[in-house]
Structure formats: structure tokens, C-alpha cells
Structure 1
């Protein structure tokens, strides 16, 4: 006998009930681990899985700072030099180790949430872009990139791929820059007219010829991978791990190293973007009594760059920003007492009603004369980052866990990209200063970039009045390397 329609409906209802009850029971039994673990417990799904590219030196301290938050696991390590990676391998024994970041990302990307990049400047962009294209959040050491073009492309990519980004200029999270902002907003120094930024860097060789002779490549170092995007140059002593900074092929000189820590405060609090124009003078080295050194492959031993920015609400008119390195410093402010320290690295703001000063990272902010600092009664209007400058790392970890757009970062690429560009535009003037052409009479060379104010077109990313300088906006990568855009 056939079952009735009513019996069929009863049977279907019974089966659906059993099915839904089983699912509900399973859901009841699988209790989230953070509930079982109690307050403060983080389930594996609530912990950030971090891969480090470049894990020696600063890279080592970066990943250690992420781990210190208690919310990040250092899951993968990558370095082209086993010597540099040794401490991180020892500190994170459960992390899997690779030499080639491309292999690591290809094989492990499903197990990676975020990537820390702390390699020489010339490889930042390709490594960062590769991670972002896989949807990974990124923390990148300063400067963000080696080239202006790369900075623009990474800034665009961060928005396109919707990942949480942070550049490693930790002073951006410090209390000092926020105090400077509050003083400025309170009218303590009026509208800013001029800014001076200076550093005692370089602390590595600059203004020299490429070393002779070639040296034997250490067995622990994969020289081909270290070169990455750079030309196929021979290995020389002491280039790795630090002296590469003084060579244009790999580094960005004192400006790239310290500019992100010193130009960042005025860039942020004055709402600056791209400069209108740039000019410079550079120091040279002594070769003999008849000749000054000319080594265009190496950054100069010292430089003074002047950039002009369009007027903002915080400036009196167009702003003039001076960059000085190699020990060059601005004139000592008259408001400083005779024995008060001016500092080897610092920033001086000159306004219509007064002056203020800070050290590197925006730390130790003071109004001038310094007696005014204690007398100022400016209210705190800007939220501080927990932990200050050291909280820069934890802020990024929290931001990654929260997801894109959920938390404010101190140095996301939307700020770090234009800041890096402004430094590299200054470097454009420095490199353009030494562009030489053979004289028509065959007697030596002329230097058309000297005594020239280069006009910058930020929309089209180029110098409009000195075409020769534009060759440095975007490098040609070595075969096999690409930015992927």
C-alpha cells in the first residue's frame, strides 16, 4: 500500500528535524576555544600568522616586536643570508625557513596572514607587492621603496587589494609628533614658514668609487637573491649587511635612512603632500689638489636639499623645507641657551609667532625658548597610540586582526607612500646634480643639473624642466624580476 501524502510529509519533517537537531548539537559541542580558554585566550584563528622577509638586524627586532604582542605567531622566516637569519631561527624554532621569498609565498600563502619586509631598499617593492597581491597585510621597513614609481604603485595597490599596511617609521606612533600637532593647532607658534630637518648620517661610506677588488661570496649568502632587482654586480667586502645604503643601486642614502624619521613630523602635522620644486647642493670628496671626487654610483658624503610645498591651512604661504645631512646643520636658534643641546638629528619649525623643535622620531618636543614648554597649557586633543613609538608594531597587529578599514594606522601607505615619494624627489635632485655631459670643445664636462630648480609634476610623476633627471624615477629591473603591475 502506498503511503499517504500526509505520511510522506510527516516522514520528511522527522528527517529534517533529525538533520537540524544534529547540526545544532554539533554546533553546541564545538565550543570556540577562546570560550574554553577564558579571558585573554586567543584561538589559533584569532592569532596573526606572520611571515618575515629579511629577518636579521632590524627585521629580527621587528618580528620579535610582533611576537611580543602575544597576538602574533612568527610562522615563516625568509632570508638570503643564513648568518643574518641565525638568531631569528633560534628564537622561533617552529617557524619554517626559506631563502627565496617567492618560493615561500608560493608554497605557504594559505597559511600566512601578514608579511613583514625588512630587506635592502632595492627589493622592498617587489616583495611587498607580491604579498599584497596575495591579499596579505604588510609591514615594510622605511623607506617604503627605492624608486618614486614604486612608491606610487604600492600606495595604489594597498587600496586596491584592501590590506592593512604600515611603514616601519615607529616615530609616527610616538607621543612627540602628537604633542607638536597640538601645539601647532593651539596657535603656539602661529603659521609655519620654514622647516629644517637634519641628520649626522651617513654612518657608512658614501662619495666613493666601487670597491676593488672583488671578494669571495660567503657560503651562507645567496648573492643572486640578495641582488634581486639590481644589476648583476660582483660581490665586494662589507657591502652586506649595512654598507649597501651608500650605493644608488641598492640604497637611498641618508635621506632614505633617516628622512622617514625626521621629515615625517612636518609632513604629517602641516598636511603636506608632494613638493612643487626641489634644488640642492652636495658635498664632494678630496681626491688630489687638482681634482674633486666624482662618483655618481655612490650617494654624496653630505647634501643640502630645499623643497617648496604649496600653502596649507597650517602654513603662512608656500612652505620651504630644508634637508641637511652629513653633519650639516641649520643656524642655531637664538632662543636656545648657550649650553642647551641642539642635537645631531632634529627638526626645527619656524612660525610667525614662535618656534618648536624635536629630536629624531619626533621625540623630545620643545617650544622655544624651552622654558615655554612647561608653561604651555595646551589640551590633549589627539588620541595617543598605546605604547607610543613601541606601540607601532602592536597597532599593526591589532589592525590586521580587525581587518582592512577597521582601525586607524599611524603610517599606512596612504601616508607613507607620499612621504617616501617626497624623500625620493629630494634624492632625484641630488642625483641630478651630478649628471654630466661632455663639453662641446672636448675639454672636460658640464653639469646641467647644477644651479637648477627642478619643477615637479606630481600628477605625471616627472621633472618638467630637466629630462635627464627622470631616468631615476623608475629603474629597469634585472631580468627575472618584476613589480607585477
Structure 2
């Protein structure tokens, strides 16, 4: 009977492949609704196949339970390595065409596009009942993050954001120390980074460049306003422009703020204020450029106490190489964070410190680490950062609600909202104002503490900021709600 069953299973699988004209078939095709193939394999479609997208796809298959069935990228140059790495995968340039033609042939979608197109691709995939893995930050706008968080529950799909440090052992050790009361209630947190490592604080180039023949510029723009192509924007320097990226806070905040957000059980901030660095142009006159993120910033967000932390929390975010004052408990030759990045928790009974991804957690002074022994109580993720990918694959195979993942949208959504709310203060909202030379800008939002109504997603004391809570998509593009 076993031999006959296996023979029939092989026949059904072979027939399905032949009918589809394709080498890889999703689990639900093999046996109908609810059927789980003995191989327990997940067929993934990758939207964004180059750079981080390529490394994400490689991470999914590393556990031996996922196959890359489809690749999609607007830039053939960026997709080239993945096409070689996954030769059985069918290649598309337009994710909408891939979804229309192939949605019955894959189980899950990886989204690794520039920030401004995360939400529209992800929601479309969830509406097809596909599990989704989305690079950080989850979205470009606060409204988009709220929509995706709610949609994950509505469509009952397994979700994960690509802040792989949330699967690290270090973030769990920080939580165990905190839960054991080692540093008391936390009232202040500092997070800092040496990012940006891409151009920021510069004017939009006035000279357009030729569009590379391999790049579909209109598809790359997607939801963003129509504009001329500029040299070196693709594949990486888009991060410093507000129409596409979310600056250093959006890029690194999901890796650094994740640990305090998780350890302290934080939710929506109550308010935000900031100061930003400027550049010198035109014979050393100070300049701000509304299209571009500033070269550095210091953001202060306040959070109410939570079920996990009995004190209100004041969180400092610093980027562009700005760092907080070194703790007195840290020796003069001891590295603060990992050098360029770090997180410092200050509690009523002590302090603890970690690097990017929550790695290398340590109590201050460092001598305390030899004295404190807290038993491990929180389950670890096998493989840590690399296991972040295979954890999502396993959970998607198991089905919605069957397995926990480190950064599902119920966690990633509010975290992203908090970071993007900080960006409302960084932007400052330029008001064009004529000066002696006939042009100029003022930034009234930078001189206020912006009060935030989290449940209703609104700044209550400076309405100009709310235009960026939910941006206007380019004509022809809609979130599809």
C-alpha cells in the first residue's frame, strides 16, 4: 500500500508539473485545498531579486524547505545573479503581471523593493492569501503600516519583517535581564547609528540622466511622483530621498529600536521633537533641501508606561554619527556599542548596552556580567539572524496561527509606525518663503513638540505634518482597500 500510495503521489505531482509546464508547484496545487505535501515545501515568489532581495531569497532556501518559483525585478541588471542562482524560477519585470498569471503557482511572496512600493505589493499579495516576508521598514507611510497590520489578521497569512536581529539570542538575553529586574524600570533609552552611508542633505540634481536600457523607470517609480531619472539613484541612493526612502531612522531604526520596543513593551509614542544637521552651500550659507533627508538628526520620542515597564520612557534617536554621552560605568577604552551603532538602556537600578541586532548584550559596568546569572527562559531561534528566514518558511508551511515568528506584523507594524512618526519631526515640513534673493524655506515643524494621537494616526497640534501620514499615490496606483 505504501508503494502504491507513493506511486500515485508521484503521478499526481508529475502530471501537475506537466500541465503547468513548470518545474516547481505549490503545495496547494498538489492535493487541493488544505492538503500539505509530504515534502512540506514552500514556493516563494520574490519581488525585488537583486541586492537584499537576493540575500533574502537565499536565506529562504537555506533551510531546505523552500523553493524560489518566480523572480520579479524592474532592473534586469539587479536580477541577473538571482536568475543564475535560481534557474528554474520564471522571471517577470512587473509584479502585477506575475500576480495575475501565476498566483495559483506560489504560496508566499518576498518583498524587497524600495520603501515606497512595499505596501502596495504586500497588500496585493495578502489579498491573494499569500504569506509575506517584507524588508524593513515595513512601509513608507504610517497609514500603510496600519493597513498591513490589520490585513495580516483579516487575510490570515503568516508575516515577517526583515529586521533579522529580532531573532537574535542577544535580544532575548536583554529581555531576560530586564524581566529579572536586574536594571529596574527603564526610563531612558539611547539608539544611535553612523548611517547614512548614502547621500543626504543635498539638492535634487537639475540634470537628468539617460535611463539604463535594463531598467523600467516607470515601474521603479510605482507609487512615487513622476520625475526624471537621475544618475546613481538606483540601486541604493534612493534611501536619502523622501519620495522613496525613509532615511537613516527608517533604515536602521528597525534594527536598533526593535530591542527596546520589544523588551519594554512599547507602543505608540505620545510626542516627538527633533533637531537636524544642515549642510553648507553657496559660500558657506546653511542649506536645507526639502526633497532630501538631512545629513544627521537627533529625535526624542516619549512613550507611556506599559504592562512590561512601569515608567514612562524617553527615547533618543541619533544618526549621522552623533552619539550620546558615554556612560560613566563604561571604561575609557571599552567600545560604546559596536563603534558606529548601539543601544543603551538606563533603568532605576542599572544600565545595559547592546550592538546592532541586539547582539553582544552586556550589563554596565562590564564587571557585572560575571556576577549576574539569569537562567534562560525565552526560546531561542535556531540560527539567530539566518534563522529569521527559515523561521518564516516553517511558520508559513505550518499555516496561520500555528507557529510564532519574531517580527510578525502585529509587532513590526507598531514599531514601523513609531519610527515613521519620528520622521514627521525630522522632515519639519518646508514652507516656501521668498527671501532677498527671491526664494527660501522655513521649517516650522522643527521648532515644536509634535503631539501624536496614535490610535487615530494624527499630529494634533501641527496639521501640516498629517499630509505625510498618508501620502498621495501617483495617478494609476492605489493601495486597493
**TM score, norm. by length of structure 1:** 0.90
* 8 Å CA contact retained: 1:439, 1:446: no
In the TM superposition, 1:329-340 aligns within 5 A as 329-340=323-334
RMSD, matched Cα? 2.0
Contact (CA 8 Å) 1:349, 1:357: kept in 2 or not? yes
Partner of 1:353: 349
1:166-181 alignment runs, 5 A limit: 166-181=160-175
Counterpart Cα distance in 2 of 1:440 and 1:205: 27
Shift of 1:370: 1.1
Structure 2 counterpart of 1:465: 461
Write out per-residue CA displacement over residues 318-340 of structure 1, whole angstroms, 9 at most, x where no aligned residue: 11000000000000011111111
Mapped to 2, the partners of 1:361 and 1:185 lie a distance apart of 19
Identify the residue that residue 186 of structure 1 maps to in structure 2: 180
Q: Which runs of at least 4 in structure 1 moved beyond 4 Å after TM superposition? A: 24-33, 42-45, 439-446
- Out of 284-293 and 299-308, give the one that drifted further: 284-293
| Alpha-carbon displacement from aligned partner over 1:220-252 (angstroms, at most 9, x marks no partner) | 111111111111111111000000000000000
Larger radius of gyration between Structure 1 and Structure 2: 1
1:166–1:444: structure 2 CA closer, same or farther, 3 Å change rule? Answer: closer
Q: Which residue of 52, 56, 77 corresponds with 2:50? A: 56
Q: 1:108 aligns with which of 96, 102, 112?
A: 102
**1:89 maps to 2:83:** yes
Q: Distance in 2 between matches of 1:295 and 1:379?
A: 51
Of 340, 364, 380 in structure 2, the residue corresponding to residue 384 of structure 1 is 380
2:226 corresponding residue in structure 1 = 232
In structure 2, the CA distance between the partners of 1:32 and 1:157, relative to structure 1 (3 Å rule), is same
Instruction: Choose the corresponding residue for 2:252, options 254, 258, 263.
Output: 258
CA distance in 2, matches of 1:105, 1:60: 19
Q: Deviations over 1:419-478 (max 9, x none)?
A: 0000000001111x2433538999966532132110001111110000001111111111
State the match for 1:438 in structure 2.
433
Q: 1:478 aligns with which of 463, 471, 474?
A: 474
* Contact map agreement 2:156 2:400 (CA 8 A) in 1: yes
Q: Take 2:6 and 2:303, find their aligned partners in 1: how far apart are those partners?
A: 62
Change (3 A) 1:237 1:399: same
Indicate yes or no: 2:417 matched with 1:421. Answer: yes
Pick from 68, 76, 83: which aligns with 1:74? 68
Distance 1:72 1:288, change over 3 A: same
Distance 1:393 1:111 in 2: 21
1:454 counterpart = 2:450: yes
Instruction: State TM-score, norm by structure 2.
Output: 0.91
Q: Among 178, 201, 204, which residue is 2:198 paired with? A: 204
The answer to whether the 8 Å contact 2:120/2:478 transfers is yes
Q: Secondary structure, in 3 states, of the residue corresponding to 1:395?
A: helix
- State the number of aligned residues: 453
Residue 399 of structure 2 is aligned to residue 408 of structure 1: no
Separation in 2, partners of 1:80, 1:471: 29
Counterparts of 1:450 and 1:367 in 2: how far apart (Å)?
35
In structure 1, the partner of 2:19 is none
Structure 1 unaligned spans of 5+ = 1-23, 34-41
| 2:418 partner SS | helix
Matched, 1:397 2:367: no
Distance of 1:44 and 1:245 partners within structure 2: 43
